[in-house]
Structure formats: structure tokens, C-alpha cells
Amino acid sequence: MIRLVNVNKYFYRGDPREVHALKDVNLSIQSGEFTVITGPSGCGKTTLLNAIGVLDNVSEGEIWLEDREIAHLPATQKTDIRLNSIGFVFQAYNLVPVLTVEENIGFIMRLQGYSDEAIRIRVREVASILQIDQKLDSLPNFLSGGQQQRVAVARAVASKPKIILADEPTANLDSKNSTALMEMMKELNRKEGITILFSSHDEYVMKNARRTILLNDGAVVSS
């Protein structure tokens, strides 16, 4: 489903401060996989996720999503890919503060042009799985960190993207909330068949993933 071919990423290329963040990364991730990218801090986990999510440009190499090379598309097409094929879960939740939980969860679907009724049904379904159905009318600022992260996951999942990219989603959560979130992600992966790609160095996350990709100094050590 996702294929990375000889991907390299440099920061400050040609400058004395040059950093070679990703080194000849070759990876293949199949549909429905539940994968964790792990490695020491600064090894390139987030850079790799951002490259796969076409948020960041790669310096060299190709990234294929199904049969389409996506690394070198124009910015507007990358926006479309992010909107229609990829769900993002960020470490800092990044919900829209002026929208209710229900509106936040349905936000991507609304951008995709779903009807009000379809959005309402799907939002309730996802909120029920993630146990936030009692909070649909609340604003994000009135929720705990764990609840906000569940809303962020619900937003990423609601539109049924091909892949969910989650960058250290448990980093700001306590162990109880981390465990709960992981269980829910696993359930979503099982029920909805969504491909999930985490970056994390949380042992609990690694234990629960079906596949672990180990990065070190920008290179894939094991997958």
C-alpha cells in the first residue's frame, strides 16, 4: 500500500549545518497493518511520518501510495492526498478550539463534502467506539488530555482514510489513557481495517503493534 524507495531527506543541504535525516529508506507497508516506527530521540521518526504524509518534501527518492507516486506532486494535490487518503493524529491534539467535539470529528468529512446526515451517523459511531459520545457538545478546551487525544483520533478515523499517521500520540498521556487509546486504536484497526502507522518509543505501544520498524540515525535498522 505504501512503498518508500531510496528516500533521503536532508536539512540545510549544502550548508555546514547539513543534517542527513533519512538515509536511503526503503520500506513497504501493507494495507491493514498496525505498525510502529521506533528508535531513539532524533532518529528521524517524525521526519519519516511527515514524508509519508506528504507534509514534508523528501530530498531524494519516491513514495508510492497504492499506484501513485506522491512525493513530488504539486502542493494542491498533496493537500488533496492529505485530505482524502491520510488521517493525522498529532502529539499536541491540535483540535479546532471553536468547534464542538462533534464538529471537530466531522470536520474532515465536511471538507470531503459528505451530507449532514452521513456525518452525524459516522461521528456518533466513531465517538461511541472511542467512548466520547457523551462529550459531543463540548468544546475541546473543556476536555482532559486523554479525551482530546481521543477526539483527534476520532477526527482522523471518521472519514475512513487509507492510512492513519500518528506521531507519538501517547506522549502527552498518562499510562491509563495511553493504554485506553492503544486499545481503541487496535479495535479501529480490527473493525475498520484502517492501516495505522505510529511513531513512538512507548514500550506499551511497541508491544501492541503487529510490526515494528526500528530507525537509527535516519536509517532503517530492522523492519
Partner 1 sequence: MFKTVAHMAYQNAFLRKSRALLLVLMIGLSMAVMVGLEGLYDGMSQHMIEKTKRSDCGDISLFAPRYRTENSIVYHISNAGKKVALLQGMKGVRDAIWRIESEGLAQTARKSRPARVVGIDVADEEKFGRYSDFLQKGSLEFGKDGAFIGNVLADKLKLLLGSKVIFSMQDSSGQLQSVALRIKAIIHTTNIMLDDRAIYISRQKLNKLLSLPPKSATQIAVLAGDTEVKTLQQHIKKAFPKLDAKRFAALYPQLKQTQQLLDVFNEISFAIVMTVVFIGILGVMYVSVLDRIREFGILLGIGYAYRYIRLQVFLEALFLALAGFVLGSVLGLLFLVYLKYHGLDLSVFSSGMSMFGLDSTIHAVIKPGYFVSTFIAIVTASLLSIFLPLRKIKRLDPIEVIRSIG
Residues that bind partner 1 (CB under 8 A): 46, 50, 55-56, 76, 79-80, 82-84, 88, 90-92, 94, 96-99, 103, 107-108, 110-111, 113, 155
**Minimal distance in Å, beta carbon 94 to partner 1?**
4
Cα–Cα distance, 23 to 25 (Å, whole number): 6
- Give the three cell numbers for residue 90: 498529532
Among residues 56 and 62, whose Cβ is nearest to partner 1? 56
Helices (H) and strands (E) in the chain, counts: 8, 10
Cell numbers for 14, please give them.
549544502
Question: How big is the CA angle at 99 (ends 117 and 91), to the nearest 5 degrees?
Answer: 110
- Which of residues 28 and 115 has its CB atom nearest to partner 1 in the complex? 115
- Least separation in angstroms between residue 159's CB and partner 1 is 9
Instruction: Write down the least CB distance from residue 88 to partner 1, Å.
Output: 5
CB closer to partner 1, 135 vs 155: 155
- HSE, CB side, 13 Å, CA atoms: give it for residue 179: 3
Task: Decide whether 59 or 223 has the Cβ nearer to partner 1.
Answer: 59
95 or 213: CB nearest partner 1: 95
Task: Tell me the residue ranges of DSSP E strands in 46-162.
Answer: 60-65, 68-69, 86-89
Smallest separation (angstroms) from partner 1 to the CB of 11: 10
Nearest distance, CB of residue 56 and partner 1, angstroms: 5
Distance CA 165, CA 198 (A): 6
Q: How far is the CB of 209 from partner 1 (least distance, A)?
A: 21
| Nearer Cβ to partner 1 (165/185) | 165
Compute the distance between CA of residue 207 and CA of residue 143 in angstroms, rounded to an integer. Answer: 28
Cα gap 61→24, rounded to integer Å? 8
